[in-house]
Amino acid sequence: MTLVDTNVIVDVLSPDSEWQTWSVDRLDECRRRGPLATNEIVFAELSARLRSEADVTAALATLSIAFERIPTAGLFVAGKAYRKYRSAGGIRTTVIPDFFLGAHAEVNRVPILTRDERPYRSYFPAVKLIAP
């Protein structure tokens, strides 16, 4: 399984994205290796861009991306990553969405397909990233 970050899905759904070709090609490569999935956080981020819940569900289905809930162990790891972030001087006052996807990948030992590797490299160094 590969977890897919919001930015890759948005690239694929946006015909004017400069990253569309890269994202489509990487999705296809990951799909050939196994299932694609995403979680509540990505679903919520996509909901901010699409008109309805049905549109989000349809977009994920069209791309063959399954919905998978974040395990409670992942939620715990996300909180610990946030604590580390704040200890290092981070200013965000709530857990950063990328921490949920990173923690989900870490506890399930699966890679993340993303264009923004920075938060994952910093707080989830053991997670394999598929990134430019």
Domains of the chain: 2-130 (3.40.50.1010)
Which letter does DSSP use for residue 128 in this model? -
> What would the mean pLDDT of 48-55 be, rounded to a whole number?
97
Higher pLDDT, 6 or 95: 6
pLDDT-derived band at 127 (thresholds 50, 70, 90) equals: very high
Q: Vertex 68, ends 66 and 73: CA angle to 5°?
A: 155
Which letter does DSSP use for residue 69 in this model? P
Note the pLDDT of residue 100.
97
pLDDT digits (tens, 9 = 90+) for 56-115: 999 999 999 999 999 999 999 999 999 999 999 988 888 889 999 999 999 999 999 999
CB 74 within 8 A of CB 96: no
Q: For the range 78-83, what are the long-range contacts, defined as Cβ-Cβ under 8 Å and sequence gap of 24 or more?
A: 78/102, 78/103, 81/123, 81/124
Residue 1 clears pLDDT 90, i.e. is over it: yes
Largest CA distance in the chain: 41
Do the strands 112-113 and 65-67 form a parallel or antiparallel pair, or are they unpaired?
A: unpaired
Note the pLDDT of residue 108.
98
Q: Measuring CA to CA, which residue among 45, 124, 125 is closest to residue 80?
A: 124
